[in-house]
């Protein structure tokens, strides 16, 4: 191997190799219903989507008034795991809260 490639900070770039594609992204969309308490929705947005109280309240009110709102945008596995966790958490507390994923 040439000394040029022996140093720690030297990168070898093969012009034939394309850089990897970024993964396809999905938005998790929260849906409105008539029964889930507003405070519970705010809590879900904080607990599962890392929103602060103000962001969570804004998203919850948007869903309440417009029927849907985006909680976050993630690679497929992360989006589907969060949906499953929210569904489990809501069902265990008898709330019909639902979210779905769609290509971003
Ligand atoms: N519409 C519900 C209510 O009036 C509140 C709500 C907001 C429910 C957002 C679901 O994703 C939702 N209690």
Residue 51 covered by a domain: yes
Residues lining ligand 1, CB < 6 A? 30-34, 36-38, 41, 60, 63-64, 97
Q: Which one of 55, 59, 60 would you pick to mutate in the ligand 1 pocket, going by the greatest count of ligand atoms within 8 A of its CB?
A: 60
Model pLDDT, residue 18: 87
CATH number at 90 reads 3.30.1390.10
Spatial strand order in the sheet of 68-75: 68-75, 25-31, 98-103
CA distance linking residue 71 with residue 91, whole number of Å: 19
If you measure from the C-alpha of residue 87 to the centroid of ligand 1, how many angstroms do you get, rounded to a whole number? 15
If you measure from the C-alpha of residue 24 to the centroid of ligand 1, how many angstroms do you get, rounded to a whole number? 29
Residue 68 covered by a domain: yes
**Closest residue (by CA) to atom 4 of ligand 1?**
34
Tell me which residue range forms the domain holding 55. Answer: 26-103
Pairing between strand 68-75 and 25-31?
antiparallel
Residue with structure tokens 């992204």? 25
Model pLDDT, residue 1: 35
pLDDT averaged over 10-residue windows placed end to end, the chain, 104 residues: 49 80 96 98 98 98 98 98 98 98 98
Q: What is the pTM of this model?
A: 0.86
Q: Please, where are the H alpha helices in the chain?
A: 38-49, 53-66, 76-92
Pairing between strand 25-31 and 98-103?
antiparallel
């Amino acid at each position: 191997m040439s000394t040029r490639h022996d140093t720690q900070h030297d990168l070898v770039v093969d012009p034939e190799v394309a850089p990897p594609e970024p993964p396809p992204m999905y938005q998790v969309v929260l849906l409105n219903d008539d029964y889930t308490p507003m405070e519970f929705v705010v809590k879900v947005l904080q607990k599962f989507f890392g929103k602060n109280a103000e962001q969570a309240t804004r998203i919850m009110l948007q869903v309440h008034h417009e029927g849907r709102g985006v909680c976050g945008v993630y690679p497929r596995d992360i989006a589907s795991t969060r949906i499953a966790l929210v569904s489990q958490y809501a069902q265990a507390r008898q709330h019909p809260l639902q979210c779905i994923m769609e290509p971003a």
